[in-house]
Amino acid sequence: MRLPLFLTTIHDWLYSMMPEIWAKIVEMVLIAVGYLAFFAVAGLFLVLLERWIAAWIQLRRGPNRVGPGGVFQTIADALKLVSKELTGTIKADMFLYNLAPYFPIVSALIVLSVLAFSSTIQAYDVNIGIFFIISVSSIGVIGILLGGWASNNKYSLIGAMRSGVQVVSYELSVGLSLLTMVLLTGSLQLSQIIEVQRTGGWLILQGHIPAIIAFMIYMIAGTAETNRTPFDLVEAESELGAGYHTEYSGMKFAYYFLAEFINMFLVAAIAVTIFFGGWLSPFGITDHIIWLQPVWFLAKVGGIILLMMWFRWTFPRLRIDQILTLEWKYLLPINLVNIVIMAIIILLGWTL
């Protein structure tokens, strides 16, 4: 793998300092720390962005007191959450109750490691990339189910059950819509998928009509996977109070909260990788400048996130039966037909 110069220097220095096995372990730890740092910063920034955008849509000012323009607001909030007392319920299943918040955050972190931020920044380019992402990201819902169950609270339980039903249903659409695009690329590996787009143009253009349908289905299902409005009935404020995390406080609540935002980032990042050419620049104008690659990637991800935030602050919430109807009666059949159409288009060579 080609690495930026300063990383290569560190790499060489480490290998010259200690035996290979130790050097490898130290490198792994360094990369893990780097990803964790990105994880935290991205989470905090997305919360801030969400609040700014909400304020902009809602004719308010939003955070504007802590730091210049309110940029330190979420850091202050995080500090507050860290220092808060961890309250819990008496009859809760304490083991599961304490364990549950780690599932969403760990699954999100593992998925993050597969993402290709640029041609060089990718922790683990696994050859079953898309499959890996779909399978690992579905672990997160266990945390929500466990948390809701272990809290010994009926509101939490209703929220958790809603979440279980919703995420299990929409996993199908996410998987199938990505599968539609995999037909085009012929590979599950993320670096390969991007390589295909470097030569043939972004997949959403290559696959034209079925690709656009797949993108729309992916966006709907992805929003549902992250439990955001219009699919936020997991924590439907006006119905269930706070839903599955009603009984959580302090850092445990913050884990759930952070995981939600990181999941949103992941959904957007996967959409960008599969449909919009990942770190590739439009028409390859700046592809040769390596340091611009992550910038392009993050800019595209930002665009998709903006779209999801726009949904959140303007749409009402669906009802549980409507959510299931949408998935099983509309999205899933459309998706299956769409895959067939895509296969026919590829066979006939009608791709762009």
Q: Which residues bind another protein (CB under 8 A)?
A: 54, 57-60, 154-155, 158, 229-230, 232-233, 236-241, 313-322
Does residue 225 contact residue 170 with C-beta atoms inside 8 Å?
yes
Of 169, 152, 161, the C-alpha closest to 96 is 152
d(CA 101, CA 94): 12
d(CA 304, CA 236): 23
Closer of 126 and 320 to another protein (Cβ)? 320
Does residue 158 contact residue 240 with C-beta atoms inside 8 Å?
yes
Closer of 51 and 300 to another protein (Cβ)? 51
Alpha-helical (H) ranges within 236-325 are 237-240, 250-275, 292-314, 320-325
Q: How far is the CB of 62 from another protein (least distance, A)?
A: 11
Q: How far is the CB of 245 from another protein (least distance, A)?
A: 15
DSSP annotation of 331: I
Closer of 154 and 329 to another protein (Cβ)? 154
Closer of 2 and 91 to another protein (Cβ)? 91
Closer of 12 and 237 to another protein (Cβ)? 237
Q: How far is the CB of 156 from another protein (least distance, A)?
A: 11
Q: How far is the CB of 59 from another protein (least distance, A)?
A: 5
Closer of 122 and 153 to another protein (Cβ)? 153
d(CA 151, CA 245): 8
Q: How far is the CB of 238 from another protein (least distance, A)?
A: 4
Chain position carrying tokens 């997949």: 203
Chain position carrying tokens 């009608």: 350
Closer of 195 and 239 to another protein (Cβ)? 239
Of 82, 85, 77, 87, the C-alpha closest to 45 is 77
Q: How far is the CB of 240 from another protein (least distance, A)?
A: 8
Q: How far is the CB of 57 from another protein (least distance, A)?
A: 6
Q: What distance, in Å, lies between the first and last C-alpha atoms of the chain? A: 30
Chain position carrying tokens 């609040």: 51
